[in-house]
Amino acid sequence: MSLQFSRIIGTGSYLPPTVVSNDELAARLAKDGIETSDEWIVSRTGIRQRHLVADGVQTSDLATAAAQRALAAANKTPHDTALLIVATSTPDFIFPSTACTVQAKLGNQGAAAFDVQAVCSGFVYALTTADSFVRAGRARCALVIGAEVFSRILDWRDRGTCVLFGDGAGAVVLEASEQPGIQAAQLHADGSLTNILCVPGNVAHGQVTGDPFLRMDGQAVFKQAVSVLEKSARETVAQAGLTIDQIDWLIPHQANLRILSFLAKKLGCSMDKVVVTVDQHANTSAASVPLALDLAYRDGRIKPGHEVLMQGVGGGFTWGSVVARM
């Protein structure tokens, strides 16, 4: 009996139509006495614009649109999927899961559906989980989505965080295969670093208690991100039986252009091999990796047979990597 693997057979993404440039954002913030500028944001982050949802648009709406595009690319229907995982830190509700809401919007009934919460590492965690289901024979076809509306949890008076994030969704379809697709994966976390990136509030007795906004120690996150991403990249590539030179494309979590540049330098990888979308999308958390994957696949940079290293790093503190042959 042949060993069963999982392969990515379709990608999709969705971005809200409202685009807010740095100049537009600076003008909005200035009304509240918050000073920032395009130069200040670009020099520190590389971000030039972000997409933001309109009132009433939910994470499940973005996720459903991305899922539909991924299914179409894979020539699959919602009924073909036996597993649906949504990676998100901004769910529609406390419960049910956003995955169940997306399942209903897609018209699928009966597939296993659940959310994964690993913040900006969420898609890598979800993809690894789905790969395990497929390899174990628990699901022949799986839909994996990363979707976020981070604009709803930002303190718009804190220029150190509110300029960094955007909204969006990305998705992939996995299918069982005799040929290797997902070749290696590693997931990690260090809960002792919770406080460097978190939303420390909660809902209790009908009220929000604590701080309901995203808080971040930028310097600590930067230092940890570069360190753990380099180590994770080397370990996961080696697990796949490859070298860094054999990786065709690197898709790290799109948090900050400086992080991407430092990571590429440490790995000895040209920036020409790094997919960069943070300038156009800002940090879309769990959506950033599948958004970048879909963009690069659809514009022809990523081709069948290419080796792609995808990486996430975020609150928790969580991180992980996946090597996939497209």
C-alpha atoms less than 13 angstroms from C-alpha of 109 in its C-beta half-sphere: 1
> Alpha-carbon distance 108 to 235, whole Å?
37
> Alpha-carbon distance 16 to 54, whole Å?
8
Among residues 22, 108, 256, 283, the one annotated as catalytic is 283
Residue 283 designated active-site: yes
List, in sequence order, every residue forming a beta bridge with 209; answer none if it has no partner.
202
Residue 100 designated active-site: no
> Alpha-carbon distance 177 to 194, whole Å?
38
> Alpha-carbon distance 84 to 157, whole Å?
36
Among residues 253, 256, 269, 281, the one annotated as catalytic is 253
**Strand ranges inside 233-289, DSSP E:** 249-251
> Alpha-carbon distance 303 to 149, whole Å?
30
By CB atoms closer than 10 A (0-12, 13-18, 19+), residue 31 is exposed
Residue 120 designated active-site: yes
Among residues 22, 51, 100, 120, the one annotated as catalytic is 120
**CB 107: neighbour CB atoms within 10 A?**
9
Catalytic residues: 120, 253, 283
